[in-house]
Amino acid sequence: MLTLDFHPTGRHFLQIPGPSPVPDRILRAMSLPTIDHRGPEFAALGLQVLKGLAQIFKTRHPVIIYPASGTGAWEAALANVLSPGDHVLMYETGHFASLWNKMATRLGVKAEFLGLPGIEGWRRGVQADMIEERLKADTQHTIKAVCVVHNETSTGVTSNIVSVRKAIDAARHPALLMVDTISGLASADYRHDEWGVDVTISGSQKGLMLPPGISFNALSPKAIEASRTAKLPKAFWAWDEMIETNRSGYFPYTPNTNLLYGLAEACDMLLAPEHGGLEAVFARHARWGEGVRSAVKAWGLQIQCADPAVYSPVLTGVMMPEGVDADAVRKIIYDRFVSSWPA
Amino acid sequence: MLTLDFHPTGRHFLQIPGPSPVPDRILRAMSLPTIDHRGPEFAALGLQVLKGLAQIFKTRHPVIIYPASGTGAWEAALANVLSPGDHVLMYETGHFASLWNKMATRLGVKAEFLGLPGIEGWRRGVQADMIEERLKADTQHTIKAVCVVHNETSTGVTSNIVSVRKAIDAARHPALLMVDTISGLASADYRHDEWGVDVTISGSQKGLMLPPGISFNALSPKAIEASRTAKLPKAFWAWDEMIETNRSGYFPYTPNTNLLYGLAEACDMLLAPEHGGLEAVFARHARWGEGVRSAVKAWGLQIQCADPAVYSPVLTGVMMPEGVDADAVRKIIYDRFVSSWPA
Amino acid sequence: MLTLDFHPTGRHFLQIPGPSPVPDRILRAMSLPTIDHRGPEFAALGLQVLKGLAQIFKTRHPVIIYPASGTGAWEAALANVLSPGDHVLMYETGHFASLWNKMATRLGVKAEFLGLPGIEGWRRGVQADMIEERLKADTQHTIKAVCVVHNETSTGVTSNIVSVRKAIDAARHPALLMVDTISGLASADYRHDEWGVDVTISGSQKGLMLPPGISFNALSPKAIEASRTAKLPKAFWAWDEMIETNRSGYFPYTPNTNLLYGLAEACDMLLAPEHGGLEAVFARHARWGEGVRSAVKAWGLQIQCADPAVYSPVLTGVMMPEGVDADAVRKIIYDRFVSSWPA
Amino acid sequence: MLTLDFHPTGRHFLQIPGPSPVPDRILRAMSLPTIDHRGPEFAALGLQVLKGLAQIFKTRHPVIIYPASGTGAWEAALANVLSPGDHVLMYETGHFASLWNKMATRLGVKAEFLGLPGIEGWRRGVQADMIEERLKADTQHTIKAVCVVHNETSTGVTSNIVSVRKAIDAARHPALLMVDTISGLASADYRHDEWGVDVTISGSQKGLMLPPGISFNALSPKAIEASRTAKLPKAFWAWDEMIETNRSGYFPYTPNTNLLYGLAEACDMLLAPEHGGLEAVFARHARWGEGVRSAVKAWGLQIQCADPAVYSPVLTGVMMPEGVDADAVRKIIYDRFVSSWPA
């Protein structure tokens, strides 16, 4: 029988940027028996989670739920709006931006990678002026999309998406704006419609407090329009049948039912007016993030993010001093606080 | 808080071909807290489920686990071995074979659809002689793959895969053999290596007794070889990084951790020597299938599958007599046995 | 870590007269975190279960919930209304009536044991005329209580409680009527007030579908009156503080909180109007009991209960033919249907 | 369906001296299906928990498990060794000692209540010299038992049991020593055999981390001897049949099966050598208790326990300054940390 190395206190102890600790309420909801995804009970569940997600993404347009983990949602965003050989502009904020760039290249897209030189690129958010300048130079409008990461899990930097939107507008460029907020959604302020994002990519195992396994594309009408003529092959990731079938609460193919149970519960928790809704969630993260940074500074350590304006409220990267081995530090933390009685 | 319309007996009552009823043991395993998929505990879990799957698919070659539902595994099989415009031969056994055919076309593959004319096609298994004949006619070997469904959920027909292998061999044709056994695996006899299958596609929510959300590709060396030159764009579905990373029990991107808990439990249940292992599972399904068919015949009804040699041991399709509305029958079943006290 | 020898199907397989199979809904409810039994949430729970129990016992008078298994409720019934040396009349219907008789003797009560001679006593229900005759002979009214078992788990006989009430009334005798319906409540028709019962004893692990651990005394005003002067020592079992404290939903000492969660769920299931309430529960048991008896007769076996008027709707005792070892039969059942794949 | 007012974080938030927070591991174990308490699986469970309890009580003699909450174990201890009118000496350490005293009186025992005058009695542990003096004065040995509370939940005082044993020995008095360690067991050092205790009373919902519903009597040979002639009526609480039946892992009447699942898990957690066993548990409580007291002092508040030698390692009582309403303080704590987002 499957066992798990529970912490001696009888709780599982996981305190990393993701997967986040999954609340008991959600684990309990996920252990309800699997229902028929073609039956009437399911439609009610489908409509419920789609409505909740729209509130969380702050959009009036479709949100696609993939029964696949976050990497799939990256691919879906690219595959639905691009054609083989298309040119996209991506911005290097850290490890995850680099992985997305690598994927775009693998899919046959010409992925230009912009960024500050050297280590500075991984210590500051997206430099919107660099994007504006590059787009202005693209007088033929060969660039089809601008791709940025909102909250970089590898560095603890939350880029300013509004500034990127303004840069595109200032350049009077028709490129789509695509934003990965896998680790930012439901933890840091995010507004799909108001900020003019065309495709937002997110996943389940961070701010939504779920296990991994489902991921999302929030769309704009302009993105949907672009998907009608894009030529990259797609079936599982295709938006068209999803949008159509979702109208009645169903999915064109088998959904991830038990994770949707968890998602319904997570939406209830995040949006509950009696707890203050998303604003209270953001305020709490902001406050705790400030506390963590104060502690790091008091210990005499340096924060990875070099620009206070873009400190992530969700996670704080800490730079190890010269001569200190990061792996050794992690091992000490693990031994003292995870694997043994905190005596 | 999420509720579910439990049967009055306090159990959820679901008796359809899939999603199958999920045993308590598996729901309990899935409700364990989510662990870090980069930590040491995870590697042990990963190796354990990969080993179990190899025994269930009966293969010594890699089995890929996608954190995505079954439709994704269909796409993965095609995307890894084919290039745009490639010609594949598919066989029409029912609704699911048709959906796969539609997907292949959508992905830019030339998908030829073979089958018996009219209703007969949906009442009999794959006619291997038709495949042999067609392949013999393909003297240029433009056909890259032969795609068949092992157990057709829409009809209750389990096709003879050995006969298809023999047909390809008799035609001395190099096409890959790709088999969908989403609803057959772990219920009906299946032997990836011995039967010479190149790619086997399966999913979690049928014989494996899990909720939907993970799916599989079992590979042959020949399929892996083909994937090295295939040109359809792929990243999430790509086998290469999966095979590489799986060696140490990890995944190249975020896996569906809690469903893997359930998979580990399912492997334990299916393979337990004290319960007789897979042979006992198959024998049980065969016996129960025979019982169901006896009952259907005793009621004077006709079985959808017209060839006793390919009766499915997993599910039995029943034809409604003239003038009887199938939806009305389903409603009676639902009202009497699912939604009310069985008084 | 605790494991349990699950049935190969992944369900625990228990089909005995009690503990009954506990529905998933109830096990889930019981696994909610323990709340403070002095906090406001608890009072709501307490009032809810007390109200539900009143409907199940069909009484307007207090029902006491003991955080103790059924044997405790037997002792409580005796200790609250009797004084050392008091005389009670008990009726022998089977093994459990005998255990209760033994307990009364142990507590220092003079327990007279009435019944039909030989095996006949264990094959027929309470003979009310014998009770009437005995009470008429007790012209000094030394008998303080008449104690009978409603549904004898050891024999499958459900005695007629109304006839016992009539016998006491016909004898114009002031004795209290005390009835054990541990295995009858919520399965067979039972009416505490209408039938004029003074103390009804019941438990959690039969018709209420809970694990063992809580038990009940339903009272009449006459029983409460008797408890004011009864002299057997009692503290844990004392009704007075319970009645007083229960008014606000609390208990005088620590209750069995997680079993009360299960009880709340059980009341919901049993009383749900959309499922027909208790009447539907009784009808279902009656129908299934009739089916079981038909099968037993068709197999050529004899039913333990010799009087069809008092067949239990809950369980059927079957007599083994000469030369057949009951333990060997039980072992066959266990091996074929509980411990192995039902191949 | 039963719901529970979960904390906004998705965990139930309960931080009181008892019921203690129940670890997930234990709630999960308790939600396993109920097994037959007469079947072979149960015997293994029974022997396992009895062995674990012996290690926790540190005794080689029988430990009785009652399917009843703690108040029952108090009654059991008295009822098994005393006769009506017997004289016992009890010591007033606080609210729970007073409740036990009240119960003894109610059961018909002459319960003498010793203690320091005024508020001092509730701020200091048992004064062994007072007991010694009183016993010496009892030259006729009419006192049958000395009853003390080890860890007083109402005050946060852990009395010195060794000193009480020495007092009885110094007085050369044959009285039994009976100790309530309901809230001390498995949190504070306790040694039934080594300390010469005759009956130890404990319960499930404190250091054992279980929900309420089971309780214990640990015995000495001298206590068992006394129970053979004690005259208080008892059946449910009787030790004799328990000791006899427990030998094979069973119980004379229905046990509280699902709580025993939890108990097995709790024993595993508390005794696990890889976590340091009970010594590590005690050290942890001692360290955290010291931390709490340091904080209370730093805030300028006074600790209820006036004698540092008997500070409880488990809980700390804090005295409210003049003019501060304790209920108002509790409400602030509840509102800020239990019922709302900790923003």
Residues of A in contact with B256 (CB under 8 A): 69, 211-213, 256
Beta bridge partners of C146: C89, C177
Q: Which residues of D touch A (CB under 8 A)?
A: 6, 8-12, 23-26, 209, 269, 272, 275-276, 280-281, 283-284, 287, 340-343
Residues of C in contact with B338 (CB under 8 A): none
Q: Is the pLDDT of residue B117 over 70?
A: yes
- Of C16, C19, C253, nearest to D69 by CB-CB distance is C253
Q: In this complex, do D1 and C25 lie within 8 Å of one another by their Cβ atoms?
A: yes
The pTM (predicted TM-score) of the whole model is 0.92
Cβ atoms within 10 Å of A306's Cβ, excluding its own = 17
Q: Which residues of D touch B (CB under 8 A)?
A: 1, 3, 24, 28, 31, 33
Predicted local distance difference test score (pLDDT) of residue A117: 93
Q: In this complex, do D212 and C254 lie within 8 Å of one another by their Cβ atoms?
A: yes
Complex ipTM: 0.94
Smallest Cα–Cα separation from B48: which of B267, B216, B197? B267
- Of D3, D28, D31, nearest to B1 by CB-CB distance is D3
Q: In this complex, do C24 and B8 lie within 8 Å of one another by their Cβ atoms?
A: no
Q: Is the pLDDT of residue C3 over 90?
A: no
Q: In this complex, do A29 and B2 lie within 8 Å of one another by their Cβ atoms?
A: yes
H/E stretch holding A259: helix A257-271
Secondary structure (DSSP) of D220-248: -HHHHHHHTT--S--STT-HHHHHHHHTT
Residues of C in contact with A24 (CB under 8 A): 33
To the nearest whole Å, the CA of B113 is away from the closest chain A CA by: 18
Q: Which residue of C has its CA nearest to B341?
A: C275
* Tens of pLDDT, residues A17-48: 788 988 888 998 998 889 889 988 899 999 99
Rounded to 5 degrees, what are φ and ψ at D204?
-90, -25
Return the higher-pLDDT residue of C145 and D27.
C145
A156 φ/ψ sector (left φ>0, alpha ψ -120 to 50, else beta): left
* Tens of pLDDT, residues D175-215: 999 999 999 999 999 999 999 999 999 999 999 999 999 99
To the nearest whole Å, the CA of C32 is away from the closest chain A CA by: 9
Residues of A in contact with D10 (CB under 8 A): 23-26, 209, 269
Q: Which residue of B has its CA nearest to C25?
A: B10
Q: What is the mean pLDDT of residues C121-141?
A: 97
> CB contacts < 8 Å between A and D, how many?
57
Q: What is the mean pLDDT of residues A275-293?
A: 94
Q: Which residues of B touch C (CB under 8 A)?
A: 6, 8-12, 23-26, 209, 269, 272, 275-276, 280-281, 283-284, 287, 340-343
Q: How far apart are CA B201 and CA B216, in angstroms?
A: 6
Residues of D in contact with A275 (CB under 8 A): 8, 340-341
* Tens of pLDDT, residues C234-280: 999 999 999 999 999 999 999 999 999 999 999 999 999 988 899 99
At residue B185, the 3 state secondary structure works out as coil
* Tens of pLDDT, residues D274-293: 888 999 999 999 999 999 99
Q: Is the pLDDT of residue B274 over 90?
A: no
Q: Is the pLDDT of residue B16 over 60?
A: yes
* Tens of pLDDT, residues A179-211: 999 999 999 999 999 999 999 999 999 999 999
Spell B120-156 as b/e; 16+ CB within 10 A means b: ebbbbbbbbeebbebbeeeeeeebbbbbbbbbbbbbb
Q: Is the pLDDT of residue B2 over 80?
A: no
At residue B342 the predicted structure's pLDDT band, cuts being 50, 70 and 90, is: very low
- Of C3, C28, C31, nearest to A1 by CB-CB distance is C3
- Of A1, A233, A261, nearest to B232 by CB-CB distance is A233
* Degrees to nearest 5, angle at CA C216 with C27 and C260: 30
* Tens of pLDDT, residues C63-106: 999 999 999 999 999 999 999 999 999 999 999 999 999 999 99
Q: How far apart are CA B38 and CA A328, in angstroms?
A: 17
Predicted local distance difference test score (pLDDT) of residue D340: 46
Q: How far apart are CA D186 and CA D218, in angstroms?
A: 14
Given a contact as 3+ CB pairs under 8 Å, which chains touch C? Answer: A, B, D
Q: In this complex, do D265 and C19 lie within 8 Å of one another by their Cβ atoms?
A: no
Q: How far apart are CA D129 and CA A210, in angstroms?
A: 60
- The answer to whether C267 touches C281, Cβ cutoff 8 Å, is no
Residues 6+ positions from B139 with CB-CB distance below 8 Å = none
Secondary structure (DSSP) of B5-71: ---TTSS----SSSSPPPPHHHHHHHTSPPPPTTSHHHHHHHHHHHHHHHHHHT-SS-EEEESB-HH
Residues 6+ positions from B232 with CB-CB distance below 8 Å = A233, B78, B79, B80, B82, B83, B84, B107, B108, B109
To the nearest whole Å, the CA of C10 is away from the closest chain B CA by: 5
- The answer to whether B49 touches B263, Cβ cutoff 8 Å, is yes
To the nearest whole Å, the CA of A171 is away from the closest chain B CA by: 31
Q: Is the pLDDT of residue C23 over 90?
A: no
Helices (H), C171-325: 221-227, 239-246, 257-271, 277-298
Q: Is the pLDDT of residue C1 over 90?
A: no
At residue B9 the predicted structure's pLDDT band, cuts being 50, 70 and 90, is: low
- The answer to whether C186 touches C52, Cβ cutoff 8 Å, is no
Q: In this complex, do B258 and A233 lie within 8 Å of one another by their Cβ atoms?
A: no
> CB contacts < 8 Å between C and D, how many?
196
Among D3, D261, D275, most A C-beta atoms within 10 A, so best to mutate, is D275
Q: In this complex, do A28 and C33 lie within 8 Å of one another by their Cβ atoms?
A: no
**Token output for C91:** 């009726």
- Of C8, C25, C269, nearest to B275 by CB-CB distance is C8
Q: What is the CA radius of gyration of chain B?
A: 21
* Tens of pLDDT, residues D139-150: 999 999 999 999
At residue B331 the predicted structure's pLDDT band, cuts being 50, 70 and 90, is: confident
DSSP state at residue B338 = I
Given a contact as 3+ CB pairs under 8 Å, which chains touch D? Answer: A, B, C
Q: How far apart are CA C201 and CA C196, in angstroms?
A: 14
Residues of D in contact with C105 (CB under 8 A): none
Mean pLDDT of the residues in chain D: 93
Q: Which residue of A has its CA nearest to B6?
A: A33
Residues of B in contact with C343 (CB under 8 A): 276, 280, 283-284, 287
Please name the residue that has the structure tokens 């006709």.
B302
**Token output for D161:** 């049991």
Q: What is the mean pLDDT of residues D165-175?
A: 98
Q: What is the mean pLDDT of residues B282-296?
A: 95
Q: Which residue of A has its CA nearest to B259?
A: A213
Cβ atoms within 10 Å of D65's Cβ, excluding its own = 23
* Tens of pLDDT, residues A73-112: 999 999 999 999 999 999 999 999 999 999 999 999 999 9
Q: Is the pLDDT of residue D20 over 70?
A: yes
Between B164-173, C323-332, D7-16, the lowest mean confidence (pLDDT) is in D7-16
Rounded to 5 degrees, what are φ and ψ at D187?
-130, -40
Q: How far apart are CA D157 and CA A235, in angstroms?
A: 69
Q: Is the pLDDT of residue C57 over 50?
A: yes
At residue D294, the 3 state secondary structure works out as helix
CB-count exposure of residue D326 (10 Å: 0-12, 13-18, 19+): exposed
Q: How far apart are CA D333 and CA D329, in angstroms?
A: 6
Smallest Cα–Cα separation from D21: which of C213, A22, A24? A24
Length of chain C: 343
Q: How far apart are CA D263 and CA D260, in angstroms?
A: 5
Residues of D in contact with A340 (CB under 8 A): 275
Q: Is the pLDDT of residue D341 over 60?
A: no
- Of B30, B36, B68, nearest to A68 by CB-CB distance is B68
Q: How far apart are CA B254 and CA A204, in angstroms?
A: 11
Smallest Cα–Cα separation from D289: which of D132, D110, D156, D121? D156
At residue C25 the predicted structure's pLDDT band, cuts being 50, 70 and 90, is: confident
Q: Which residue of B has its CA nearest to A234?
A: B107
Q: What is the mean pLDDT of residues B323-334?
A: 88
Cβ atoms within 10 Å of C135's Cβ, excluding its own = 22
Residues 6+ positions from C157 with CB-CB distance below 8 Å = C93, C94, C122, C123, C124, C125, C151, C304, C305, C307, C310, C311, C312
Beta bridge partners of D217: D64, D201
Q: In this complex, do B24 and C6 lie within 8 Å of one another by their Cβ atoms?
A: yes
- The answer to whether C215 touches C201, Cβ cutoff 8 Å, is yes
Q: In this complex, do C70 and D254 lie within 8 Å of one another by their Cβ atoms?
A: yes
Q: Is the pLDDT of residue B158 over 50?
A: yes
- C-alpha distance across the termini of chain C, in Å: 30
Q: In this complex, do C106 and D11 lie within 8 Å of one another by their Cβ atoms?
A: no
Return the higher-pLDDT residue of C343 and C13.
C13
Q: Is the pLDDT of residue A219 over 90?
A: yes
Predicted local distance difference test score (pLDDT) of residue C332: 85
**Token output for C69:** 């298994």
Q: In this complex, do C24 and A3 lie within 8 Å of one another by their Cβ atoms?
A: no
CA atoms within 13 A on the CB side of D119: 4
Q: What are the C-alpha distances in Å from D189 to residues A122, A127, B25, C222?
A: 53, 62, 38, 50
DSSP state at residue A196 = T
At residue B47 the predicted structure's pLDDT band, cuts being 50, 70 and 90, is: very high
Among A25, A270, A338, most D C-beta atoms within 10 A, so best to mutate, is A25
At residue C145 the predicted structure's pLDDT band, cuts being 50, 70 and 90, is: very high
Return the higher-pLDDT residue of A315 and A13.
A315
Q: How far apart are CA B58 and CA B209, in angstroms?
A: 18
Please name the residue that has the structure tokens 């006729």.
D140
Q: How far apart are CA B197 and CA B207, in angstroms?
A: 19
Q: What percent of chain A has pLDDT over 90?
A: 82
CA atoms within 13 A on the CB side of A17: 18
- Of B67, B256, B261, nearest to A2 by CB-CB distance is B261
Predicted local distance difference test score (pLDDT) of residue B18: 81
Residues of C in contact with A33 (CB under 8 A): 24
Q: Which residues of B touch D (CB under 8 A)?
A: 1, 3, 24, 28, 31, 33
Residues of B in contact with C24 (CB under 8 A): 6, 10-12, 24
Q: How far apart are CA D209 and CA D26, in angstroms?
A: 8
Q: How far apart are CA B126 and CA C328, in angstroms?
A: 50
Q: What is the mean pLDDT of residues D162-182?
A: 98
Please name the residue that has the structure tokens 């369900």.
C11
* Cα dihedral: B9, B12, B17, B22 (round 10): -120
**Token output for A261:** 């149970």
Among A31, A265, A333, A337, most B C-beta atoms within 10 A, so best to mutate, is A31
